Structure 1
Amino acid sequence: MKAYNKTRLFGIVILTLLSFSCSSDLDFNQVNDLKLEPVFIANLSYFDVPAKDFVDNGMEKDISLDVQGFDFFSEKFFRDNLQRADFDFEITNTINRAYSLGLNFLDQSNKTVYTIRFDVPASTGTPVIIKKTEIFQNTTLDLLKTTKRMEFDLIMAPGPALSENSLGSFKLSSSATVYLLVE
Structure 2
Amino acid sequence: MIVSCSDKLDFNQINNYIHKPVLTSALTYFKVVPFQFFDSNGVQQFEIRDVTRFEGFENTYIRENVVKINFNAEIKNEFNRDVTIQAEFLSENDGLLYSFTPIQVQENDLNFTYLEEIDVTTNQSVLNTAKVRIIASIENTGTPMNPNDTSEFEFKSSITFFIESEL
Which interval holds the TM-score relative to the shorter structure? 0.7 to 0.9
Give the distance between the partners of 2:83 and 2:89, measured in 1 at CA.
19
In structure 2, what residue type is equivalent to 1:154?
A
Aligned equivalent of 1:63: 48
Equivalent in 78, 81, 89 of residue 94 of structure 1: 78
Taking a change above 3 Å as real, the CA distance of residues 80 and 162 of structure 1, as seen in their structure-2 partners, is same
Alignment of 1:49-128 (within 5 A): 49-56=32-39, 57-61=41-45, 62-68=47-53, 70-116=54-100, 117-121=102-106, 123=107, 126-128=108-110
Higher helix share: 1
> What TM-score, normalized by structure 2, do the two folds share?
0.83
Q: Once structures 1 and 2 are overlaid, which stretch shifts more, 158-167 or 23-32?
A: 23-32
Give the distance between the partners of 1:79 and 1:94, measured in 2 at CA.
38
- Stretches of structure 2 that go unaligned for 5 or more consecutive residues are none
3-state SS, counterpart of residue 76 of structure 2: strand
Displacement of 1:136 after TM fit?
0.8
* Per-residue deviation, residues 100-146 of structure 1 (Å, max 9, x unmatched): 2211110122101111222233x2xx435432210011323x23212
Taking a change above 3 Å as real, the CA distance of residues 50 and 127 of structure 1, as seen in their structure-2 partners, is same
3-state SS, counterpart of residue 86 of structure 1: strand
> What TM-score, normalized by structure 1, do the two folds share?
0.77
Taking a change above 3 Å as real, the CA distance of residues 50 and 21 of structure 1, as seen in their structure-2 partners, is same
Aligned identity (percent) is: 27
In structure 2, what residue type is equivalent to 1:119?
Q
In structure 2, what residue type is equivalent to 1:64?
R
* Per-residue deviation, residues 54-97 of structure 1 (Å, max 9, x unmatched): 123421122111111x1211232212211111111122211122
Give the distance between the partners of 1:110 and 1:167, measured in 2 at CA.
33
Aligned equivalent of 1:150: 132
- Stretches of structure 1 that go unaligned for 5 or more consecutive residues are 1-15
Are residue 44 (structure 1) and residue 18 (structure 2) matched? no
3-state SS, counterpart of residue 19 of structure 2: coil
3-state SS, counterpart of residue 139 of structure 1: coil
Q: Which has the larger radius of gyration?
A: 1
* Per-residue deviation, residues 1-52 of structure 1 (Å, max 9, x unmatched): xxxxxxxxxxxxxxx3x2x455665544333122211112222221111122
